[in-house]
Structure 1
Amino acid sequence: MIPILILVIGIILIILNVKAIRKEEKSFNHILEREADNSNKDYGLEIIAIRKDLAETVLDLQKEIEEIKISIEKLKDESKKDDNKVEDINLKETEDVISEINFSNSLDKENKENKVNQVKTLIEQGLSDDEICEKLSIGRGEVLLIKGLF
């Protein structure tokens, strides 16, 4: 009787273990599926977080680009103003030089007219060409030219 009892207990244990294994397989599959879904959700959350970070980074970069554009425009405007100032200064300087040249030209004309008048008066006084050259400190060719013109 003891061997039969041991056989019956063994068969009962085998049947219970087979049922337990089937339940565990179902529960393991269920746990595996649940964990797979959770990991997919985690990846989704990580992707959302990364997208958010990228969007913030892109926004910051766009702001910096706009600031750089504004500063470039300011520098261009300042450069144009400086160029205009330089042009104004150059124009003033050239006007000053031109007025000095005109003034010196007018002085030269007056001096030439004075020389012409002086040469005329010295010729009328009867001085020779060499004497006129010495008195007025001018070249003989100039005296002859003035003499030839008048």
Structure 2
Amino acid sequence: MLPVLIMLIGIILIILNVKAIKKEDKSFENILNREEMNNNRDYDVEIISIRKDLAETVLDLQKEIEELKKSLNHIKNKKEVDDNKKNIDNYKKEDSEHILKEDIIENDIVSEINFNNEEKLQNDKMESVKSFLENGLTDDEICEKLSIGKGEVLLIKSLLRK
């Protein structure tokens, strides 16, 4: 009987060990799955933080783009206002010149004020050319300084000789 009892105990021990090994296999799988889930969660957390950073960066860029658009529109509007002012000034100038021409045509009178201004301008040019010639400047240098044509300088030069 003793050998049967020992055999029976041996078989029971083998069965218990097989069950324990199967439990360990399942528990190892559970541990492995749990660790995989934790790793996936870590990756998910990193992905979420990277997405958040990118979203903030994109938002900042969009804000800067909007600010640049607003400043560009402001500059364009300011330029249009300046252009409008220039156009109004040009229109007023042209209108005043047109009215002045109409007055001259209607009355057949030449305005002495405008004539005197033109004479004064011519006298100023003559004096400038004369002083430059006395300083020994060439015709080309005089043209550059006074922003007038060479023909005009030569004409004034010939008038001064007479």
Measured in 2, the distance between the counterparts of 1:25 and 1:85 equals 89
- Describe how 1:38-57 pairs up with structure 2 within 5 A: 38-57=17-36
Match of 2:98 among 98, 119, 124: 119
The structural deviation recorded for 1:115 is: 1.0
Match of 1:91 among 45, 70, 74: 70
Measured in 1, the distance between the counterparts of 2:91 and 2:4 equals 126
Residue deviations 1:73-111 (CA, integer Å, cap 9, x gap): 111100000001111111111111111111001100111
Letter in 2 for 1:88: E
Match of 1:60 among 39, 50, 61: 39
- Describe how 1:1-150 pairs up with structure 2 within 5 A: 26-126=5-105
Structure 1: state its 5+ residue gaps: 1-21, 128-150
* Cα root mean square deviation, aligned: 1.7
Give the TM-score, by structure 2 length.
0.60
Measured in 2, the distance between the counterparts of 1:25 and 1:97 equals 106
Aligned-residue sequence identity (percent) comes to: 8
Measured in 2, the distance between the counterparts of 1:28 and 1:110 equals 121
DSSP 3-state at the match of 1:126: helix
Letter in 2 for 1:121: L
Give the TM-score, by structure 1 length.
0.64
Residue deviations 1:27-58 (CA, integer Å, cap 9, x gap): 44432222111010011112222211111111
Structure 2: state its 5+ residue gaps: 107-162
Measured in 1, the distance between the counterparts of 2:70 and 2:20 equals 74
DSSP 3-state at the match of 2:40: helix
Letter in 2 for 1:118: E
Q: Paired residue for 1:12?
A: none
Measured in 2, the distance between the counterparts of 1:63 and 1:29 equals 51
DSSP 3-state at the match of 2:105: coil
Measured in 1, the distance between the counterparts of 2:65 and 2:8 equals 84
> Which consecutive aligned stretches of 4+ in structure 1 deviate over 3 angstroms post-superposition?
22-30
Number of aligned residues:
106
**Bigger relative CO (Cα 8 Å, ≥ 6 apart):** 1
DSSP 3-state at the match of 1:125: helix
Letter in 1 for 2:26: I
